[in-house]
Amino acid sequence: MNTCTGVVPVIPRMRSVFIHLQIVYGVFVLQQYNIISKAQTSMSFTEEGSPPAIQTDNNQTMQVCDKACEYDSWFRRAYCNARGLNKVPYPSGCESSLTLELQDNNIMVLVYENLAGYKHVRTLDISDNVILKLEPGTFSGMSELRNLVLNGNQLINVSNGTFRGTESSLERLFLNNNRIRSLDEGAFTGLIKLRALYLNDNEINVLPIIVFDDLHMLELLALDTNKIRYVNNTILHGLTMLRWVSLSRNDLEQIPNEFFLGLKTLSEVIFSFNNLAAISTPANLCIGQKLTLLDLQNNAINDSDYILPYLSISVELRLGGNPFVCNCGFRLLQDWYRNKSVVEYLDSPLQCTFNGTLVHITSQLPVNCQIETYNTPDVAVTPAPTTEIRIPTSEADYVTTRAMHFISTENSITTESFQKHVMPTLTFAVLLLFFILWLFKSSVSIIMWCKRKCQCDASTNFQCCRN
């Protein structure tokens, strides 16, 4: 019998190491099996290929979320897009969802009963459906709703109280690409936390004077591509936090004086592709010194004198596509332009007309002007060094500008969810991997030590082991 004293304590240690390895491996296998089972369950459908359904109390068939949709438990997101749904699925299995995606379906009607079960949802996307009408209080059961996307539906009107129940949470509202012709005066009543409102690509022709009165936190207002011909001079006065406003591609012929009264944070104003023949001075419009962008391209302005007061306050001007007449005011604009770092898109150049000939902003102006005696008391002939003029006109610029805010928002939402739900799991996985590697290394070290220590034979009587 081997009596090597050096071997005795090694065997229990080896057994302990292997037991730990078996336990860790067993836990890992169980976790993988649980993840796979959940994935298979969330993606299962009936043999006919349509989402399973349940029978409600009134004998109507309603599809169930955890069967009709794909549920991501890490991000708490229910993917129900492009499933052929005609109603919002019953929330069974998705009650904890933070994001509910229902875009590209055939949903025609939204009612309170369909949405009340999703009380934790923060982002609801029902874009590209066929919703015709929203009843008052439809979203009143979703008190945590922050982002509501209703783009690409068939809405004709936004009535009073439509968003009742979301007053303390809703931050971003998307109503682009509908058929909205009118907004009731109380359409957005109480939405005191709303930061971004998108109403692009509709058929709005009149804005009620008080429709935006409660939106004290609004920073972005997008009304592009509508049929608005007139705006009241007080319609924006309650939006004291407004930074970005766009009324591009409407039928505006005039911007009334004091239109921006009280908007001290306003920095970007877009009036491109309208019918403006003139624009008042910054003082008359109550535009402050924080203005960084004024977009007036593709209007009907022919006198460059209207533009001169803006040279000293705006960092970026977009003026291409206006029928300017070559005069001394345009000569001043040329001098200012040549001293700046310019980015120009030639599909809508900045130019003037002289005797029927188009003269580009960089060409020699055939007008004899005494620049030093030209009466422009409120205009600096040499503008501030940081000023530049840009004339972008491609449609991609507009799309990029409008989408940028939403993309950054979505990125912040995704980052928040990633840090909250994914990072702990990844951290645990990395620590577990290091632990397994440490156990393996320790086991190898023990085995090698044992071999070195106990390579004895009968001739030495195992003295090496006792040494």
pLDDT tens by residue, 5-34: 444 444 445 555 444 545 544 544 444 444
pLDDT at position 308: 92
337-379 pLDDT, tens per residue?
887 654 455 467 889 999 889 998 888 887 777 544 334 334 3
> Does 53 have pLDDT greater than 50?
no
| Cα–Cα dist 292/289, whole Å | 8
CB 381 within 8 A of CB 336: yes
**CB of 175 closer than 8 Å to CB of 155:** yes
Contact 317, 390 (CB under 8 A): yes
Q: What is the largest CA-CA distance in the chain?
A: 120
Q: How large is the average pLDDT for residues 83-90?
A: 94
Which region among 35-44, 365-374, 432-441 has the lowest average model confidence (pLDDT)? 35-44
463, pLDDT greater than 80 = no
Structure-derived torsion over alpha carbons of residues 159, 228, 321, 370, reported in degrees to the nearest 10: -120
What does the block give as tokens for 317?
């001007």
Tell me the mean pLDDT in the region 140-162.
96
Structure tokens at 351: 């130019």
Angle between helical axes of 423-453 and 10-42 (0-180°, round to 10): 150
Q: CB atoms < 10 A from the CB of 460, how many?
A: 11
Q: Which pLDDT does position 345 carry in this prediction?
A: 52
pLDDT at 49 over 60: no
> For residue 355, what is the DSSP state?
T
**388-391 vs 316-318, strand pairing mode:** parallel
Cβ atoms of 157 and 178 closer than 8 Å: no
Smallest Cα–Cα separation from 256: which of 268, 271, 273, 267?
Answer: 271
**Structure confidence at residue 420 (pLDDT):** 57
Quickly state the pLDDT bin for 440 (edges 50, 70, 90). confident
Neighbours of 360 (CB within 10 A): 14
Of the two residues 365 and 245, the one the predictor is more confident about is 245
Per-residue pLDDT of 171-204, as tens digits, reads: 999 999 999 999 999 999 999 999 999 999 999 9
Which pLDDT does position 423 carry in this prediction?
A: 67
CA nearest neighbour of 296 among 199, 391, 229, 400: 391
CA atoms within a 13 Å half-sphere pointing along the CA-CB vector of 365: 23
Nearest-angstrom CA–CA distance, 69 and 50 = 11
Strand extents, DSSP E, 192-243: 196-198, 220-222
Beta bridge partners of 124: 100, 148
pTM of structure: 0.70
How many Cβ atoms sit within 10 Å of the Cβ of residue 458? 6
Is pLDDT larger for residue 53 or for residue 224?
Answer: 224
Please give the residue that has the higher pLDDT: either 176 or 114. 176
Amino acid at 212: F
Range name among 106-115, 296-305, 413-422 with the lowest pLDDT average: 413-422
Q: Mean pLDDT throughout 211-238?
A: 97
* Structural tokens at position 393: 């006109």
Mean pLDDT, rounded, for 99-127: 95
Q: Which residue intervals of 209-360 are DSSP H helices?
A: 282-285, 328-338
DSSP assigned state of 419:
I
Residue 62 is predicted with a pLDDT of 63
Q: Are 151 and 222 in contact (CB under 8 A)?
A: no
Cβ neighbours of residue 352 under 8 Å, at least 6 residues apart? 304, 324, 325, 326, 327, 330, 358, 359, 361, 365
Residues 6+ apart with CB under 8 A from 449: 10
More confident residue, 327 or 458: 327
Encoding tokens for residue 163? Answer: 């968003």
| 93 conformational bin, left if phi > 0, alpha if psi -120 to 50, beta if neither | left
